[in-house]
Amino acid sequence: MNEAEARLEIEQLRRAIERHDHLYYVLNRPEITDEAYDALMRRLAELEQAFPHLITPESPTQRVGGAPAEGFATVQHRTPMLSLNNAFSLEEVEAFDARIRRLLDAETLEYVVEPKIDGLGVSLSYERGIFRQGATRGDGELGEDVTGNLRTVRSLPLRLQAPVSCEVRGEVFMRKEDFARLNARREEAGEAVFANPRNASAGALRQLDPRVTATRPLDILLYSIAFLEEDTLPEGWSVPTTQAQVMELLRALGFPTTQHWQLCSDIEAVLAYCDRWQNERSALPFEIDGVVIKVNDLSYHERLGSTARSPRWALAFKFPAQQAISVVQRIEVNVGRTGVVTPLAVFEPVQLAGTTVSRASLHNEAYLREKDVRVGDTVVVQKAGDIIPEIVSVRLDLRPADSEPYRMPTHCPDCGSELVHLDEEVALRCVNRNCPAQAVEGLVHFASRNAMDIEGLGPALAEQLVKSGLARGPGDLYSLTWEQLAQLERMGPKSAKNLVRAIDASRQRGLARLLYGLGIRHVGEGTARDLAAHLGHMDALLSATEESLQALPDIGPRTAQSIVEFFARHENRKMIEQLAEQGVLMSAVAEQTQGSVLTDKRVVVTGTLSSLSRKQVEELIRQHGGTVTSSVSRNVDFVVAGASPGSKLTRAQELGIPVLDEETFLNMLRGENA
Ligand code: IVH
């Protein structure tokens, strides 16, 4: 291939990748599989490697590039990044409307209302459609140049849909789900956890090494245009004169914007919107701390102007904090599956955002020391990510005079062995492999829904099994008889028989779920599936080396090392042997997919099925060689529709994609097994 040909193909690949990024991250309507996308990326990287001088900073391969910085350069914002005036009640919102209507001498005013995303404000500049620089808000006048970190945000377009020069503003944040996963990963790895998504985003954005930022799942939504070079707008596009048009232009340029903004014809509609989101905030995938209300007509913005701190044409309606006060009764420590010891505050039960809460994780010793939570303390609790309760602060003014700082135990509360810090970990661990607390957690994980899915084997039963000596680990489960189980407390013959049946059924789950269930460090569900798909049988894992594992896609040195260490241990090899002897399937179920009805088929599931959970259908589709896709596009082969299907069904009908009901779908799969 000569350079001209390479240049052409590179440009085509970049356009295609940008289009798929836009479809995936902005429009939420992917058209190709992850595999097909990866293939495009690989081809682009290959060509760029052969012709390195053709690499440009906006190439999709350059999201994570560059060496760690020494520090951040200072950026002067083109126009100041102002803050917002706050209102804490609907009366204040009405007063705001009355005040500016008086100033403008207007009967009624139109407003645009948007969720107030609880993240970090950033400013992005684009030159002729190419992302050039991104900065934090800083003091509003001067921010920090975090371009390298912002490049790693996958939803941020590196090239716009039109070669426009502009400066836009928005919020960087982390989705609740991504935040929970990140923290779980950190807790598991013995690293300090983040108190809330906002802190996690701030930490990620201020990383000196963009490669670290790239491992933190940041997202961005844009909401204003601070500067627009009019001559760069393509023919037929016009300069926005309202905030509603700003939102539309941002979207047309390819920026992610919230779909929940609304144009309100008067303040009544604004109040209704505030009221609605105050109640429904937890339905959003990210945290919001209020609603931003903006006068729609931009000419009024100029007339109203700003104070030094904030514009007169906008207002933030802040939701009342979802917080409560309680008193710490005791501090417990919990020993996890991998031996990590987690302190936990138990407080008097309080109502918080609709549920009763009485415990909050204190994560680790460093966190506990920083918060200095003590028994008897009055504490402020809130829900982080609207789901996980956390202790925000201690009311020091109410602290009992005789209170003492809590000291972490030096020995495992369960087995008594000495606790240690491994390497540089903040976490304390019990490294006794025979620790019963770890055995209990290990069994619970093995039996969990996404692992071997043994119904009825929860924490209480796992504890009984370990305490009674009936089962120390997964290897012991499959030889249990119902008579043995029936001797346990609160276990009748009927539940004992059901449990034996559930254990029995789990033999066929296959290698991927078995591997995940073993709880090998760094082997989550995805990695377990990859391993099973590539290696096919447990034997291949027993003989794998770090090198052979690292040669597999997506397996890094840390994971490879952890797998080899796991299978090198005598007791683990024995357990695998025991499981195999008891007839637990050691091969990947996906092996059956050769020539299967669903091979290479892309399937969308919508609505509720009566006989299977969502997870189970997805698993079934994968087992039969199909790919589960979340949205309906022309590339989808068919849609399985259960009860109360949503807009996906309508869309499938519009596109003429076949729709199967539950029964037809299951018959199709059964027909194949027969
Ligand atoms: S407009 C001049 N819209 O809230 C006003 N801000 O407390 C510019 N924020 O600094 C801000 N969501 O970082 C606006 N939809 C939204 C927002 C939003 C979150 C942040 C922004 C601002 C802060 C003020």
Ligand 1 center to residue 457 CA distance, Å? 48
* Torsion of the alpha carbons at 3, 7, 9 and 12, rounded to the nearest 10: 180
pLDDT recorded at residue 444: 95
Ligand 1 center to residue 121 CA distance, Å? 7
In CATH, what number is assigned to the domain containing residue 49? 1.10.287.610
Residue 15's CB is within 10 A of a number of other CB atoms, namely 11
**pLDDT for 146-175, tens place per residue?**
999 999 999 999 999 999 999 999 999 999
For the segment 650-662, the average pLDDT, to the nearest whole number, is: 85
Q: Where are the beta strands (DSSP E) in 175-313?
A: 218-228, 262-264, 288-295
Cα of first residue to Cα of last residue in the chain, in angstroms, is: 51
311 with 175, same domain?
A: yes
Distance between CA atoms of 416 and 432, rounded to whole angstroms? 9
Let me know if 235 is exposed, middle or buried by CB neighbors in 10 A (0-12, 13-18, 19+). Answer: exposed
Higher pLDDT, 654 or 350: 350
Ligand 1 center to residue 268 CA distance, Å? 22
**pLDDT for 594-623, tens place per residue?**
456 787 788 999 988 888 888 788 888 887
In CATH, what number is assigned to the domain containing residue 560? 1.10.150.20
Only one residue has tokens 């426009």, namely 164
143 with 270, same domain?
A: yes
Let me know if 354 is exposed, middle or buried by CB neighbors in 10 A (0-12, 13-18, 19+). Answer: exposed
DSSP state of 26: I
Distance between CA atoms of 584 and 474, rounded to whole angstroms? 11
pLDDT recorded at residue 9: 96
In CATH, what number is assigned to the domain containing residue 357? 2.40.50.140
Residue 64's CB is within 10 A of a number of other CB atoms, namely 16
For residue 311, which atom of ligand 1 is closest to its CA? Answer: 2
For residue 116, which atom of ligand 1 is closest to its CA? Answer: 12
For the segment 303-317, the average pLDDT, to the nearest whole number, is: 94
pLDDT recorded at residue 674: 36
Residue 525 lies in a domain: yes
Helices (H) and strands (E) in the chain, counts: 25, 22
Q: Are 607 and 645 in contact (CB under 8 A)?
A: yes
**pLDDT for 54-63, tens place per residue?**
999 899 999 8
Residue 168's CB is within 10 A of a number of other CB atoms, namely 24
Distance between CA atoms of 486 and 473, rounded to whole angstroms? 19
For the segment 418-428, the average pLDDT, to the nearest whole number, is: 85
> Which among 77, 86, 116 is the best mutation to test ligand 1's pocket, defined by most ligand atoms within 8 Å of the CB?
116
What φ, ψ does residue 640 adopt, rounded to 5°? -100, 120
Alpha helical stretches, state H, 31-136: 34-50, 90-104
The enclosing H or E element of 531 equals: helix 525-535
- Residue 41 pLDDT more than 50? yes
pTM (two decimals) = 0.63
Residue 586 lies in a domain: no
pLDDT recorded at residue 322: 75
116 is catalytic: yes
40 with 127, same domain?
A: no
pLDDT recorded at residue 671: 64
471 with 369, same domain?
A: no
303 with 348, same domain?
A: no
Indicate which residue of 116, 294, 371, 383 is catalytic.
116
553 with 406, same domain?
A: no
Q: Whole-number mean pLDDT of the chain?
A: 91
163 with 210, same domain?
A: yes
Higher pLDDT, 613 or 94: 94
Count how many Cα atoms sit within 13 Å of the Cα of residue 563 in the half-sphere of its side chain. 28
Residue 417 lies in a domain: no
The confidence band for 258, taking pLDDT boundaries of 50, 70 and 90, is very high
Q: Containing domain of residue 20, as a range?
A: 3-55
**CA distances in angstroms from 290 to 16, 64, 123, 386, listed in the order given:** 37, 33, 21, 14
310 with 188, same domain?
A: yes
For the segment 247-265, the average pLDDT, to the nearest whole number, is: 96
* Cα angle: 423, vertex 428, 433; to 5 degrees: 90
Residues in CB range of 139: below 8 A, 6 or more apart? none
What φ, ψ does residue 225 adopt, rounded to 5°? -115, 115
350 with 380, same domain?
A: yes
Of 318, 351, 368, the one marking the end of a domain is 318
pLDDT recorded at residue 321: 66
Of 395, 411, 427, the one marking the end of a domain is 411
pLDDT recorded at residue 615: 79
Residues in CB range of 389: below 8 A, 6 or more apart? 352, 357, 359, 360, 381, 382, 383
Residue 70 lies in a domain: no
pLDDT recorded at residue 7: 95
- Residue 549 pLDDT more than 60? yes
Atom 10 (ligand 1) nearest CA: 83
For the segment 571-577, the average pLDDT, to the nearest whole number, is: 95
pLDDT recorded at residue 673: 45
Residue 94's CB is within 10 A of a number of other CB atoms, namely 15
Of 288, 318, 348, the one marking the end of a domain is 318
> Which among 171, 173, 309 is the best mutation to test ligand 1's pocket, defined by most ligand atoms within 8 Å of the CB?
171
Residues in CB range of 548: below 8 A, 6 or more apart? none
Nearest alpha-carbon partner for 206 in 475, 494, 198, 47: 198
230 with 345, same domain?
A: no
Higher pLDDT, 614 or 560: 560
Instruction: Specify the 3-state DSSP secondary structure of 627.
Output: strand
In CATH, what number is assigned to the domain containing residue 236? 3.30.470.30
Q: Are 276 and 317 in contact (CB under 8 A)?
A: no
Q: Pocket residues for ligand 1 (CB within 6 Å)? A: 82-84, 114, 116-117, 121, 171, 223-224, 292, 311, 314, 316
pLDDT recorded at residue 592: 44
Only one residue has tokens 């058209």, namely 31
Residue 430 lies in a domain: no
- Residue 332 pLDDT more than 50? yes
3-state SS track over 191-230: CCCCCCHHHHHHHHHCCCCHHHHCCCCEEEEEEEEEEECH
**CA distances in angstroms from 193 to 107, 181, 218, 366, 481, listed in the order given:** 51, 11, 16, 10, 42
Atom 17 (ligand 1) nearest CA: 116
Ligand 1 center to residue 70 CA distance, Å? 29
The confidence band for 215, taking pLDDT boundaries of 50, 70 and 90, is confident
pLDDT recorded at residue 666: 84
pLDDT recorded at residue 386: 60
**pLDDT for 430-457, tens place per residue?**
999 889 999 999 999 999 988 999 999 9
Give residue 151's identity as a one-letter amino acid code.
Answer: R
Residue 352 lies in a domain: yes
> Which among 292, 294, 295, 302 is the best mutation to test ligand 1's pocket, defined by most ligand atoms within 8 Å of the CB?
292
288 with 225, same domain?
A: yes
**What is the domain count for the chain?**
5
Ligand 1 center to residue 137 CA distance, Å? 11
Residue 429 lies in a domain: no
Higher pLDDT, 398 or 279: 398
In CATH, what number is assigned to the domain containing residue 664? 3.40.50.10190
pLDDT recorded at residue 353: 67
pLDDT recorded at residue 594: 43
- Residue 593 pLDDT more than 50? no
Residue 250 lies in a domain: yes
127 with 249, same domain?
A: yes
Put residue 545 in one of left, alpha, beta given phi > 0 → left and psi -120 to 50 → alpha.
Answer: beta
pLDDT recorded at residue 463: 94
- Residue 591 pLDDT more than 80? no
Q: Within its chain, how far is the Cα of 298 from the centroid?
A: 36
Percent of the chain with pLDDT over 90: 68
Residue 127's CB is within 10 A of a number of other CB atoms, namely 14
Distance between CA atoms of 521 and 586, rounded to whole angstroms? 20
